[in-house]
Amino acid sequence: MKVHEKFLNYVKYDTQSVPDVDKIPSSEKQKDLASCLVEEMKAMGIKDARMDENGYVYGTVPKNTDKDIPVIGFIAHMDTAPDMPGNDIKPKIVYNYDGKNIVLNEEKNIVMKTEMFEHLTDYIGNDLIVTDGTTLLGADDKAGIAEIMSMAEIFINNPDIEHGDIKIGFTPDEEVGNGADLFNVKGFGADFAYTVDGGKLGELEYENFNAASAKIEISGVNIHPGSAKDKMINSILIAIEFQNMLPVRETPENTDGYEGFYHLTDIHGEVEKTKLDYIIRDHNLEKFNRKKERIEKIASYLNEKYGVGTVKVKMTDSYYNMKEKISPHMHIIETAKKAMENLNIEPIIVPIRGGTDGARLSYMGLPCPNLCTGGHNFHGRYEYIPIQSMEKVVELLIEIVKLNVK
């Protein structure tokens, strides 16, 4: 089965994770794909393939040499993002793409336009897997799974290719920030690993945001508006005031590169109670901490203005920049870069404006930078992935393993 055929099989499974659920996996349906993967791994000859009670999948392609070779791991996540429906996905293949706008759904007039997504024209002549415009595709990260599985199958079917132990791991709940929580680093047994969870072909990432979440609860006092003078405290208006005290240009839509941001992801409320949910991001740890301090200072100011307890803040760190943990092991990056160059793939070494399981795993003792999958426009209706890019990523994983032998 070709890599894109594996991928099209995996996207049939609804594996959408659920935010703010205090268990792993956050949705039991993720285990359906996990079970499928275990069976497929066993069928191809991976004897120790298994799923644990939390839905994590592990397996080993055993070494076929007596050489003392470091144990390398490859990891991808099974869940899809809550941002967009992830069930009843209807992928289609645009063969020999001609560089024009792509009509995803004629009935609903959903069109992927080159003027919005200029990178489409980089793939003229390629075969693109797209959605029907009503769901995400799931290339994040079922493409990574398909690529790892294809790599494993090639090594098993070609025992003449020398390699050390290759560890495989598939995680649940990455999209809701919990993918690494119960990952068994010791049991996994790799010296280092790569997550296959990036975007455009050639991306190689070992820097990511420091990340935190902030949940703001604002309490007000509701009085009949006809007699509210000097009595009503409208929590909605205080919420607006809170937001307006944050730097207006430090939002996702106004930042790129190494610039951090505050992102208001949810707001709902009434006069008596309003809740704001933020995510806070910055590559620089000092700036990251200052951003969190600003949230606390705004809350303190508003509590002085409206009364103690009016604004409550719950701040939680999510993950940290993996650069600190990767830097002592830069051979991992150099190997991946060399593998790309050997395959005429231009390395694109960029900071992740987000996070991966690898960030958490790096702090858990498993150095784990991030490799491309070849996909674009993750988490939305315009998600797509070129088949040729997926095939090239499979070659890349194989080349990394080969270089690990030398």
Query: pLDDT tens for residues 243-272?
Result: 999 999 999 999 999 999 999 999 999 999
20 is in an annotated binding site: no
Is 79 known to be catalytic?
A: yes
Choose, from 40, 141, 174, 282, the residue flagged as catalytic.
174
Euclidean distance between CA atoms 295 and 290, whole angstroms: 9
Query: pLDDT tens for residues 333-348?
Result: 999 999 999 999 999 9
Confidence grade of residue 177 (pLDDT, cut at 50, 70, 90): confident
Query: pLDDT tens for residues 377-402?
Result: 999 999 999 999 999 999 999 999 99
Choose, from 79, 173, 203, 383, the residue flagged as catalytic.
79
Is 153 known to be catalytic?
A: no
Percent of the chain exceeding pLDDT 90 equals 95
147 is in an annotated binding site: no
379 is in an annotated binding site: yes
197 is in an annotated binding site: yes
Where do the domains of the chain lie, and which CATH numbers do they carry?
Answer: 3-207+321-405 (3.40.630.10), 210-319 (3.30.70.360)
Confidence grade of residue 406 (pLDDT, cut at 50, 70, 90): confident
